[in-house]
Structure 1
């Protein structure tokens, strides 16, 4: 989706849209890049241990920054490092991977890209539909198939849907004004525009917004149906139709759905790279120290229990029964695990916060990948001159099919199916071979002359995040009325007003953030926790570089009445 009017200056003449708010418009990217650093910890607390529950991007960003401050993070991981940044290699093919979790990262994720750049990783445009990176796109809907390289190649119906969506955002949310405030980082204007939307749309769904908008109400039901099934930007939107409209506003206003890239060789290199990286500047620890060296090479096992010990510290017991005490704890696992997989002392959080953690609603997600002998989809059909296969959006079982060219000397990868919610649940009981069979059957109806199966090599790879006991779902999808729950979780790092028995344990992760399913939310909430832990140990930020907690009273998300 591109929301640029004819009166708008060219994009390269304007500041970029970044994930700057809108709920909490704080420049996390500026904070972590400032030459003064994030702050300091009193020397007498240097070397103190902090437990980090979870070695995903949120846990490892926090561990990395806390290590730089002179603390000793102790990372616990119940499964594998990276969390939902999981890049699974195909057997026997060097550097050919399936991105099982996060795979496309908008350039507006500037705090995340700070770490990507620090590690020197290469990124390339993601092959989303109707983008140059995809080459071509096929839309298959209600048994009809269209081939396109740009939106202009599709029938007028699709332009009508795209225009209606842009008009609905403009009319219902003052979209251009909000984005302009984000570009300029005009905090006062942004808060004035965003806060009324919170009260107006917290109780209403995405579908409500679409169906009642002036733009869509002038069109047919079929237009809404096409928008849900196919959509624009990253694909269909219907799996999000029950979600709070606020969540959708945040995605489109911060360009999460545009200008996305992938990490060459797999995004798991980011968390694993932070694990091994030795910072240029760090307090207390000798030069060359890394998280890996502090841990002797590997994180500790998964956590089974978190409790308050008799000495007032936190007692963490791992899955093998070893108990260790810490002055502070950061949990970055998905919140449901604190009630299902980890015996977490109820007194550590208020009942209001437990309600918020328990009410978090996770969306299902399924992907199925195959490796193929070559990027055969670039072959041209001699009759039409078109690509024999394209990035595909459909209302069939596969929903989204993505094609990844790893270069002329490597096999290609096809994500046969990427689906969410009820479409993902259709795959849940199926073994991987059946999933491939079903996907190939659906694609054969779209590409009747293409024998995909004969190109498949190696074993397929699949995932259903809701079936994994370490996740119980792919990402949060807030429902109407969930704003208060999100605000409680997000603001929890501000602990001065908490009773003593609830201080010292922090939460972070994309499900704590305002932008679930996007890695930037995990990074930003992690940095909030770093500020909170720094303060918990008596530290503070540099006067020239105030942190998120220093300005939270002024810029923090509004609180709705209970």
Structure 2
């Protein structure tokens, strides 16, 4: 059976095939070789776009105000070798084939992520309303949980023609995808995730408690009640492209991907000498953060960094979160249409908090002398911790516990608290689930925590589209198509998972960065490879359905 990939459904284009094609992406005119392109943000979208533009003969200059890698952030624990906390993205579905193109190129190893009820987790504990359930698979749980899982599967099938849509994505059958997906967009644009669950015929037969359990246990990666206010279109995309399933983590940390790509020396380069890398083109380091963007009289776009260094660029790619264009970067308003500004400013970002500790060994694998069960398990709970994940680095080696992974209101509960207090709250919650386990006695070193909404360079973890936001998303995602724009708006592009159809998943950053690459190629008068059409050529025919104004 063909694999499911993130092939649409809004814009079904084979990005993985495009970047792997032996003919390359395009040819630029010689006059464009060496032209400087500013890239604002050195996360996945910025580094990938820079890498592909460099191969074509352009000179990408990256600006980064914070930590290299964006939300692909892997923080090492002090004093330990290779023991890290994944503060941003940490689980990557195999359907993200554009992302794995670069993972494989760089030779980075991955392993199955310990999601609930998967073999990688070993065992799972669900603690809900004061009751605790131990399981290794879904079959080990009481009938209530089976009823919830079956109801959600039935709701997707009955209301979204789910199996047929997934098969069309497997087959990369664009007409069939559009036939099924476009009417769903039209009908569901203003529908929340919770409305879908509560109003579906499958869940109407069940109780409120079933919906409560679904919000806590969810599907794939665990509880999804923090997403209940979000657009159901967003959730359906995650389900049908299997972003919530078959996930892996990067051994040694996902931050290796942007860092190694920054230093990678491609075999095939235009204009630049062999051995050129993004790092060498940037004199070994990124510039400081962009503080001002404005149009120059000659048509170039000037970017000024935090130290006042100003330079005109022939093109600019903005990959930072969209709110920074209003709050952190003095952006000339005429660079974007008012319709696009509305979309950029109305983008809603979700709060997210994680707290990690390093422990002396994977003690949770010890067997309880009475029950024979694992001493501790991957844990889903309605308590403050919400999700607790266990990362085994090998027998008798320092390992990692993500004590708490929380969203929205649960994340805001700990926002003003120092890391030590966050750890104490998490340990207190887990003590009620595992009263016989002394987690504290195994902790080494200092804990690590993050609240993405408190970082001025992010202001939130990632986009969570609300009902009615489809048109905004359409404007942002399609901005790379600039042929009909007025001259004052051309030459500045957008990328990042926040302008994609799949926020929170790195594949959205990859796909929008490649859209921007296609747009920048056209901006410089480039010619796509005849046997390898770009997203720009495909967009007019297969782009997202347009809803009425």
Work out whether the TM-score is over 0.5: yes
Identify the residue that residue 263 of structure 1 maps to in structure 2.
250
What are the equivalent positions in structure 2 for 1:49-448 lying under 5 Å apart?
49-408=36-395, 410-448=397-435
- Secondary structure (helix, strand or coil) at the match of 1:134 reads coil
Q: Note the C-alpha offset of 1:467.
A: 0.3
Q: Post-superposition shift, 1:174?
A: 0.5
Q: CA RMSD in A?
A: 0.5
Cα offsets for 1:419-447 (capped at 9, x unmatched): 10000000101100000000000000000
Which stretch has the larger CA shift, 288-297 or 124-133? Answer: 288-297
Matched with 1:9 is none
Is the contact between residue 52 and residue 517 of structure 2 (CA under 8 Å) also seen in structure 1? yes
Q: Gapped runs of 5+ residues in structure 1?
A: 1-13
Relative to the length of structure 2, the TM-score reads: 1.00
Q: What is the match of residue 515 of structure 2? A: 528
Choose the corresponding residue for 1:462, options 445, 449, 455.
Answer: 449
Instruction: Give, in angstroms, the shift of residue 232 of structure 1.
Output: 2.4
Q: Could you tell me how far apart the structure 1 residues matched to 2:51 and 2:432 are? A: 49
- Identify the residue that residue 452 of structure 1 maps to in structure 2: 439
TM-score by length of 1: 0.97
- Partner Cα separation in structure 1 for residue 419 and residue 515 of structure 2: 39
- Secondary structure of 1:272's counterpart equals helix
Q: Displacement of 1:410 after TM fit?
A: 2.5
Structure-2 separation of matches of 1:105 and 1:40: 32
2:486 and 2:36 map into 1 onto residues whose CA distance is 22
Secondary structure of the 2:27 match is coil
What CA deviation, in whole Å up to 9, does each residue of 1:47-74 have, x standing for no partner? 0000000000000000000000000000
Return the alpha-carbon distance in structure 2 between the equivalents of residues 97 and 253 of structure 1. Answer: 31
In 2, distance between residues paired with 1:514 and 1:312?
31
1:337-373 CA distance string (max 9 Å, x none) = 0000000000000000000000000000000000000
Is contact 1:129–1:232 with CA below 8 Å preserved after alignment?
Answer: no
Residue 504 of structure 2 corresponds to which residue in structure 1? 517
Unpaired segments ≥5 residues, structure 2: none
Runs of 4+ in 1 over 6 A off after TM superposition: none
Deviation at 1:295, TM superposition (A): 1.1
In the alignment, the residues of structure 2 paired with residue 407 and residue 537 of structure 1 have an alpha-carbon distance, to the nearest angstrom, of 51
1:96–1:410 Cα contact (<8 Å) kept: no
Which of 16, 32, 35 is equivalent to 1:48?
A: 35
Q: Matched residues in 2 for 1:463 and 1:172: separation?
A: 38
Contact in 1 for aligned 2:360/2:396 (Cα 8 Å): no
Please say if 1:554 is aligned against 2:546.
Answer: no
Q: CA deviation at 1:130?
A: 0.2
d(CA) in 1 for partners of 2:254 and 2:317?
23
Deviation at 1:409, TM superposition (A): 5.0
Question: Aligned equivalents of 2:187 and 2:79: distance in 1?
Answer: 54
CA distance in 2, matches of 1:265, 1:505: 35
Displacement, 1:408?
A: 2.4
Q: How does 1:20-39 map to 2 (within 5 A)?
A: 20-39=7-26
Q: How far apart are 1:311 and its partner, in Å?
A: 1.7
SS of 1:255's equivalent?
A: coil
Is 1:499–2:483 an aligned residue pair?
Answer: no
Mean Cα deviation higher: 309-318 or 430-439 = 309-318
Give the Cα–Cα distance (whole angstroms) in 1 for the partners of residues 67 and 258 of structure 2: 11
- CA-to-aligned-CA distance 1:261-295 (integer Å, 9 cap, x gap): 00000000000011000011010001110001111
CA deviation map 1:76-123 (0-9, x unaligned): 000011000000000000100000000000000000000000000000
Deviations 1:281-336 (A, max 9, x none): 01000111000111111011100000001221111100011101100000000000
